[in-house]
Amino acid sequence: MVKLSVIVPFYNVQQYAPDTLRSLRANAREDFEFILVDDCSRDGTPEILARAERELPGAVLVRHEQNGGLATARNTGIDRARGEYLTFLDGDDWLAPGYYDRLVSSIEDLGCDFVRTDHVQCTGRTRAVHRVPQGRRNVVLNPRGSILPADRSTSVDYPYAWAGIYHRRLVDRGLLHFTHGLRTAEDRPWIWKLHREAESFAVVGLLGVYYRRGVASSLTQIGDARQLDFIRAFDQVIEETAKDREADRLILKAVRTYCAVMAHHLGSIERFEPAVARQLRSLCAAALKRLPQDVLTQVMDAMDPQRAARLRRVRRRPTTSRTVSV
pLDDT in tens, 8-33: 999 999 999 999 999 999 999 999 99
The answer on 168 and 89 residing in a single domain is yes
Dump pLDDT digits (tens) for 110-132.
999 999 999 999 999 999 999 99
For residue 266, the number of C-alpha atoms closer than 13 Å in the C-beta half-sphere is 22
For the chain, how many structural domains are there in total? 2
Dump pLDDT digits (tens) for 170-211.
999 999 999 999 999 999 999 999 999 999 999 999 999 999
Domain boundary among 204, 219, 234: 219
Q: How far is CA 142 from each of CA 1, 46, 76, 114, 115, rounded to the nearest angstrom? A: 29, 42, 29, 11, 12
Dist. CA 34–CA 40, nearest whole Å: 18
- Average pLDDT rounded to a whole number, residues 150-171: 98
The answer on 293 and 207 residing in a single domain is no
Residue 285 forms part of a structural domain: yes
Residue 194 forms part of a structural domain: yes
Query: Percent of the chain scored above 70 by pLDDT?
Result: 95
Q: Flag whether pLDDT at 216 surpasses 60.
A: no
The answer on 240 and 117 residing in a single domain is no
The answer on 51 and 66 residing in a single domain is yes
Dist. CA 52–CA 45, nearest whole Å: 11
Domain boundary among 219, 235, 253: 219
The answer on 298 and 210 residing in a single domain is no
Percentages helix, strand, coil for the chain, rounded to the nearest 5?
45, 15, 40
Residue 321 forms part of a structural domain: no
The answer on 165 and 73 residing in a single domain is yes
The answer on 282 and 197 residing in a single domain is no
pLDDT of 320 reads: 58
Tell me, what amino acid is at 104? Answer: V
Residue 70 forms part of a structural domain: yes
- Helix 293-302 to helix 305-315 angle, to the nearest 10 degrees? 150
Q: Flag whether pLDDT at 317 surpasses 90.
A: no
Residue 321's pLDDT band (cuts 50, 70, 90): very low
User: Mean pLDDT in the chain?
Assistant: 94
Q: Flag whether pLDDT at 149 surpasses 60.
A: yes
Domain boundary among 180, 204, 219: 219
Q: Which domain holds residue 299?
A: 223-315
The answer on 175 and 191 residing in a single domain is yes
More confident residue, 13 or 221: 13
**CATH number of the domain bearing residue 44:** 3.90.550.10
Residue 320 forms part of a structural domain: no
pLDDT of 57 reads: 97
The answer on 144 and 231 residing in a single domain is no
The answer on 25 and 172 residing in a single domain is yes
3-class SS of residue 72:
helix
Residue 322 forms part of a structural domain: no
Residue 240 forms part of a structural domain: yes
Closest to 81 in 3D by CA, of 170, 147, 152, 21: 170
Closest to 9 in 3D by CA, of 88, 87, 85: 88
Dist. CA 29–CA 67, nearest whole Å: 30
Dump pLDDT digits (tens) for 272-302.
999 999 999 999 999 999 999 999 999 999 9
Q: What does DSSP say about strands 114-117 and 164-167: parallel, antiparallel, or unpaired?
A: antiparallel
Instruction: Identify whether the C-beta of residue 39 lies closer than 8 Å to the C-beta of residue 12.
Output: no
Q: Flag whether pLDDT at 104 surpasses 90.
A: yes
Dist. CA 199–CA 196, nearest whole Å: 9
Residue 132 forms part of a structural domain: yes
Residue 324's pLDDT band (cuts 50, 70, 90): very low
The answer on 213 and 66 residing in a single domain is yes
Dump pLDDT digits (tens) for 69-92.
999 999 999 999 999 999 999 999
The answer on 270 and 215 residing in a single domain is no
